[in-house]
A and B are shown apart, each in its own frame.
Chain A
């Protein structure tokens, strides 16, 4: 784990933590750093930066579309890394790169880890990286570079597997709110509360961060009763879709989720 990630999760006064997901290279190729700076200034706690992929099977239409546009803009792994380097000249917020396995494999997986770590990323979330491959092939490579690897769990994941995924994750554990792709509406129901409080009760090694379907203060508060924080993705991309990089709108939105007076 990097110092940035250790500090983020050890400071309990900051909780609940708010993380924003957005796609690198969207809406414009060079939007990544300016958006990051606004998010940091608005009080976001950490960022998941999406590396776009042509066939994102865990994503709904909004994130798919942002990936397609980013790819049309010419985004690729090398450019994401260069943008992370640029961001690190002025910003300290932790960055988890989120994407699918194939672009990283084609870049060369160890070279990918070297370069993202050198540029100043803190970890990765690769939903289609199998637990077994991580354990057998990559775990040491991550540890050598102090990089976090974050696994996902879902309401259908059995307890034993949750414990295994927790053991292999560093930084945090990504708790998917419901069986759905990104961009589905959060189900406000007892079943979801039971799931989150069950996982809370496992006393896992990693802090829990909930994602999928969080869009506003109400859904943010609903899930962070049980967890260290939450991730907003689709709702933020929608905001960019509607208003472009509008500093005031972004700040207003972040404040409203965090419950901060403007």
Chain B
């Protein structure tokens, strides 16, 4: 069974290129050139150089001792929160910005939910001297205000998406409309493993540095290059694919993806795509997403802006339907508790997205020598307002 993309851009029955003809010239150009560009030794040297000296990679693999004591098995954190700009998103943003330069594109657009991908893209654009326009849902602009300020200081233009749910899905629509209107000078840096082929594969390749480092680090720390399980949160799925990538064909590593259940799976206010979604066509690919019986896209709900998306990438849809990855979900409330616990046990304030994965640790029942790696996808600075709103700064909340 292959878990990687085939020559037509599909993962099993998922994927493909479902875009209006207006976008095809850009998609065809990318499809024809992305592998040749990113596999070139000179490109790899530049990319790896940026990851090392600018992003600060490799990100540490940290033994979370007090968390391990609490859950009763060995927990390591892959510290993507320590990257420049505070999350895994920068790996992909730098990669795609370098690729845009190779394609001769001077203007970059991107969508953002939590603002992490927006900040990462604005950062990469500032560094490489590219124009940058970020689309962000009006609701997210409110709840992730510090990131909006960061993007602006980095020189990006932030345009609010005011249609639909005014969150990530709508920001994605607006970015696609911009790309339609600017087919020649613009590259669209999609922030997760979603969209038409080749975006899911390209983003996965840029994020796969996480899993590649993990293999080496585990070898040094525990004497084997695979853990017994890996836990990662899933919005569109880029940090999860990034850490899973090199383990998809390693059956000894159990892979667990954690979606946002919002107020609960049956509450009508959720973002647990695989639990609640159906197969269909959204944002350029056949994938799983939450929709009505009539095929209208449903609005997702999560306290975490980065997980507030009604779909998952097509590779995740395939990994879910083949059973290679186990999908779980965690509610807003449990994620908030886990964030506080991580802060007070480990001295690390995690991003709300990552807190969903953290919360799942206590659900897992493992032997004491079981090794789990948790992808700590980002830091919580951007979420301080939400944390305070929920009383997490109170002593006994």
Also in contact, A127 and B164, with CB within 8 A (given A76-B294, A106-B294): no
Q: Which of A53, A127, A128, A157 has the most CB of B within 10 A?
A: A128
Q: Mark A52-76, 1 if CB is under 8 A from B, else 0.
A: 0111111011001000100100001
Also in contact, A179 and B180, with CB within 8 A (given A54-B297, A102-B281, A128-B281): yes
Q: Are B173 and A153 in contact (CB under 8 A)?
A: no
Cβ of A176 < 8 Å from any Cβ of B? Answer: yes
Cβ of A221 < 8 Å from any Cβ of B? Answer: no
Q: Mark B287-315, 1 if CB is under 8 A from A, else 0.
A: 00001011111000000000000000000
Q: For residue A61, which residues in chain B have a CB less than 8 angstroms away from its CB?
A: 163
Q: Are B18 and A55 in contact (CB under 8 A)?
A: no
Instruction: Give residues of chain A (129-162) contacting chain B, Cβ–Cβ below 8 Å.
Output: 129-130, 132-133, 151-154, 156-158, 161
Q: For residue B164, which residues in chain A have a CB less than 8 angstroms away from its CB?
A: 54-55, 68
Q: Are A57 and B24 in contact (CB under 8 A)?
A: no
Q: For residue A151, which residues in chain B have a CB less than 8 angstroms away from its CB?
A: 21
Also in contact, A156 and B25, with CB within 8 A (given A54-B297, A105-B281): yes
Q: Are A102 and B16 in contact (CB under 8 A)?
A: no
Cβ of B17 < 8 Å from any Cβ of A? Answer: yes
Q: For residue B71, which residues in chain A have a CB less than 8 angstroms away from its CB?
A: none
Cβ of A184 < 8 Å from any Cβ of B? Answer: yes
Instruction: Give residues of chain B (123-174) contacting chain A, Cβ–Cβ below 8 Å.
Output: 163-164, 169-170, 173
CA distance A105 to B18 in the complex (A): 13
Q: Are B21 and A176 in contact (CB under 8 A)?
A: yes
Cβ of A101 < 8 Å from any Cβ of B? Answer: yes
Give the interface size class of chain A: 35 or more
CA distance A132 to B164 in the complex (A): 31
Give the Cβ gap from A194 to chain B, nearest Cβ, in Å. Answer: 16
Q: Which of B173, B183, B283 is close to A179, meaning CB atoms less than 8 Å apart?
A: B183
Give the Cβ gap from A198 to chain B, nearest Cβ, in Å. Answer: 16
Q: Are B180 and A153 in contact (CB under 8 A)?
A: no
Q: For residue A58, which residues in chain B have a CB less than 8 angstroms away from its CB?
A: 20, 22, 177, 180
Q: For residue A127, which residues in chain B have a CB less than 8 angstroms away from its CB?
A: 20-22
Q: Which of chain A's residues has its CB closest to B299's CB?
A: A54
CA distance A176 to B180 in the complex (A): 12
Cβ of B282 < 8 Å from any Cβ of A? Answer: yes
Instruction: Give residues of chain B (90-106) contacting chain A, Cβ–Cβ below 8 Å.
Output: none
Give the interface size class of chain B: 20 to 34
Q: For residue B295, which residues in chain A have a CB less than 8 angstroms away from its CB?
A: 53, 77, 102-107
Q: Which of chain A's residues has its CB closest to B8's CB?
A: A132
Q: Which of B18, B278, B295, B296 has the most CB of A within 10 A?
A: B295
Cβ of B392 < 8 Å from any Cβ of A? Answer: no
CA distance A132 to B19 in the complex (A): 12
Q: For residue A133, which residues in chain B have a CB less than 8 angstroms away from its CB?
A: 16
CA distance A68 to B296 in the complex (A): 11
CA distance A135 to B291 in the complex (A): 27
Cβ of B202 < 8 Å from any Cβ of A? Answer: no
Q: Which of chain B's residues has its CB closest to A129's CB?
A: B18
Give the Cβ gap from A191 to chain B, nearest Cβ, in Å. Answer: 12
CA distance A165 to B284 in the complex (A): 19
Cβ of B280 < 8 Å from any Cβ of A? Answer: yes
Q: Are B183 and A130 in contact (CB under 8 A)?
A: no
Also in contact, A154 and B281, with CB within 8 A (given A64-B163, A106-B293): no
Q: Are B294 and A105 in contact (CB under 8 A)?
A: no
Q: Which of A64, A102, A161 is close to B282, meaning CB atoms less than 8 Å apart?
A: A102
Cβ of A181 < 8 Å from any Cβ of B? Answer: yes
Q: Mark B232-265, 1 if CB is under 8 A from A, else 0.
A: 0000000000000000000000000000000000
Q: Which of A58, A68, A101, A157 has the most CB of B within 10 A?
A: A58
Q: Which of A152, A158, A161, A165 is close to B22, meaning CB atoms less than 8 Å apart?
A: A152
Cβ of B44 < 8 Å from any Cβ of A? Answer: no
Cβ of A200 < 8 Å from any Cβ of B? Answer: no
Cβ of A180 < 8 Å from any Cβ of B? Answer: yes
Q: Mark A83-119, 1 if CB is under 8 A from B, else 0.
A: 0000000000000000011111111000000000000
Q: For residue A129, which residues in chain B have a CB less than 8 angstroms away from its CB?
A: 18
Q: Are A152 and B294 in contact (CB under 8 A)?
A: no
Also in contact, A55 and B173, with CB within 8 A (given A77-B295, A103-B294, A130-B17): yes
Q: Which of B177, B280, B282 is close to A181, meaning CB atoms less than 8 Å apart?
A: B177
Q: For residue A184, which residues in chain B have a CB less than 8 angstroms away from its CB?
A: 181
Q: Which of chain B's residues has its CB closest to A60's CB?
A: B177
B-side residues, CB < 8 A to A, are 8, 16-22, 24-25, 163-164, 169-170, 173, 176-177, 180-184, 278, 280-284, 291, 293-297
Q: Which 5 pairs from chain A and chain B are nearest by CB? A: A106-B295, A103-B295, A127-B20, A156-B25, A76-B294
